[in-house]
Amino acid sequence: MRDYVLRRLLLVPLTFVGITFVAFCFTRFVPGGPIEQALAERQQADRKRSSAARPSGPASPEELDNLKRRYGFDRPLTKAYAIWLGIMPGPADWTTVRLGKDGKAEAEVADELHAGQSFKLEIKLSGKSFAVTTLDGKPRDPWRAEPAPLPDDADTATRILVYRKAYAGLLQGQLGDSTGSDKPVWDEIKSRLPISAWFGGWSLLLAYAISIPLGVAKALRRDGWFDRISSQVLFILYSIPGFILAVALLQLLCFKLGWFPTMGFNWSRPFYHSFLPLCCEMIGAFTALTLFTRNGLLDNLAADYVRTAKAKGLGNGRIVFVHALRNSIIPLAATFGGNLGFFLTGSFLIEFTFNIPGLGLLGYDSLVHRDFPVFLGLLTLSSLAMLLGNIVSDLCVAAVDPRIRFDKKT
C-alpha cells in the first residue's frame, strides 16, 4: 500500500506539469489577450479625451514592448512556462531607461529589501556590458541591465532594461498578478475561498448525511410505497442538471414568492442565502449517492455472507449496519476524492445563476476577461485538488475494504 501511494504521488507532478502546460499553451495562443485589451482600453480612453489635446492612434512601440514584457509575452513559450512554474529566474521589478550621451543612466526601482520603498540605481556602459551600482557606487547584486532595443526606434539613445533576477513562480508560491485588478492572484483567490469552502463543505456534508440513511431506508423497505415513490422522484431529480433546477427555483421561490433572496451572498445570514444554491449543488451527487447506497446494500443483503450471519443468529441491525453497509459504501468511497476538486471550484453554473462570488464565478470572469494569471492559478489549485483527490479516493477504498490491495499486480 505504501509503495502504491508513493508511486501515485510521484506521478502527480508529471501529470500536473502536463495539465498546466496544456492550459498555458491555451492562454498563449488566444486572441483578445491582455495586450489587445490594454490597447483597446487605451484607444477608448483616447476617444474620450478631446482629440485635439493629445494625438491618438495606435500605441507606440515602446508601450507595446512594455505591455509584452509585463504579461510575459516577450519570451518564447517554454521559457515563459518555466518562469511561471518557478524553475527559471525571471525579470522582476523591471523598468526601462534611456542611456545618456555619457553612457550613464539612472533608474528608480522598487527596493526588494524594504517593501513599499524605492531607490535609485546607476547604470554605466562598460565595454559591451552594463555595470549596475547604487548612486554611491556600491555594487548591488541581483540587479542587472541589458539592452532592450525596439524595432524602428527613432530615439537614438540606447534603451536598456533594468531588472532583478528572481525566481517568482509557482514553486515559490507566487501565482503572479491579476491582469484585471493588478492584485496578486493568490489574494483574489483567498478572498473567494471562504464562500466556496462554505458551499463545498455543506453540500458535501449534506449530500452524504442525507443520501446514506435514505439509501439504507429505501433498501430496508424495498419495493414498498416509500421506496417506489422516492425512486421515481430521485430518478427525475437525477436527470435534471443543477443549473436548470436553479433557474426554476430562483424564479419561483425568489422572484415570485419572495421566500429567498434573489441574488448574491451575505455572511450575516449565510443559510438564508445559501439554502437554494446548496440544494441545486447537491442534487446531482445526492441522487446518485442514494441510489448507489440502496442498490449496493441490496446486493450485499443478498450475498452469501449475510445469509451465514443470519444463520449464526446475528441481529438484523448488526447484519445491516456492520456487515452489509460497510461493503456497500465501497463504491461511494471511490467517488469521495472527486469531491475535493468540487469543494474548491464548486459548480460555477450555479454560482453564475445565483451570482455567488465564489471561485467558480472567479474562474468564469477570468475567462471572459482573459485574466490568464487568475485562470491559471485556479486551474493549478483545482487540478492539484483533483489529483490528490484521486489518491484520497483510493485510500478511502482501501480503508473501508481491507481486501483491496493496489500494489498487487493483477
Question: Binding residues for another protein, per CB under 8 A?
Answer: 14-15, 18-19, 22-23, 26, 30-32, 235-236, 238-241, 243-244, 247-248, 250-251, 255-256, 295, 298-299, 302, 345, 348-349, 352-353, 363-364, 367-368, 375, 379, 382-383, 386-387
Q: Which is nearer to another protein, 279 or 387 (CB)?
A: 387
Shortest distance in whole angstroms from residue 182 CB to another protein: 23
Helix (H, G, I), strand (E, B) or coil at 145: strand
Which long-range CB contacts under 8 A does 20-28 form with residues at least 24 apart? 20/81, 20/85, 20/170, 20/376, 20/379, 20/380, 20/383, 21/81, 23/375, 23/376, 23/379, 24/77, 24/80, 24/81, 24/84, 24/376, 25/77, 27/372, 27/375, 27/376, 28/73, 28/77, 28/80
Q: Which is nearer to another protein, 25 or 205 (CB)?
A: 25
Strand 104-110 relative to strand 90-98, pairing: unpaired
Q: Which is nearer to another protein, 133 or 231 (CB)?
A: 231
**Number of other CB atoms surrounding residue 86 within 10 Å:** 17
Q: Which is nearer to another protein, 184 or 241 (CB)?
A: 241
Shortest distance in whole angstroms from residue 348 CB to another protein: 7
Q: Which is nearer to another protein, 39 or 240 (CB)?
A: 240
- The single residue listed with the C-alpha cell 550613464 is 104
Shortest distance in whole angstroms from residue 382 CB to another protein: 6
Q: Which is nearer to another protein, 46 or 227 (CB)?
A: 227
Q: How far is CA 42 from CA 36, 59, 171, 343, in A?
A: 10, 8, 34, 39
Shortest distance in whole angstroms from residue 134 CB to another protein: 46
**Number of other CB atoms surrounding residue 359 within 10 Å:** 25
Helix (H, G, I), strand (E, B) or coil at 147: strand
Name residue 108's beta-bridge partners: 120
Helix axis angle, 185-220 relative to 225-239, nearest 10°? Answer: 150
Shortest distance in whole angstroms from residue 82 CB to another protein: 18
- In 250-303, where does DSSP find H-type helix? 270-301
Shortest distance in whole angstroms from residue 274 CB to another protein: 19
Shortest distance in whole angstroms from residue 11 CB to another protein: 8
Q: How far is CA 230 from CA 220, 341, 363, in A?
A: 13, 29, 36
CA 188 to chain CA centroid, Å, is 11
Strand 129-134 relative to strand 104-110, pairing: unpaired
Q: Which is nearer to another protein, 150 or 217 (CB)?
A: 217
Dist CA 17 CA 397 (whole Å) = 27
Shortest distance in whole angstroms from residue 25 CB to another protein: 11
Shortest distance in whole angstroms from residue 179 CB to another protein: 16
Q: Which is nearer to another protein, 85 or 105 (CB)?
A: 85
Q: Which is nearer to another protein, 121 or 387 (CB)?
A: 387
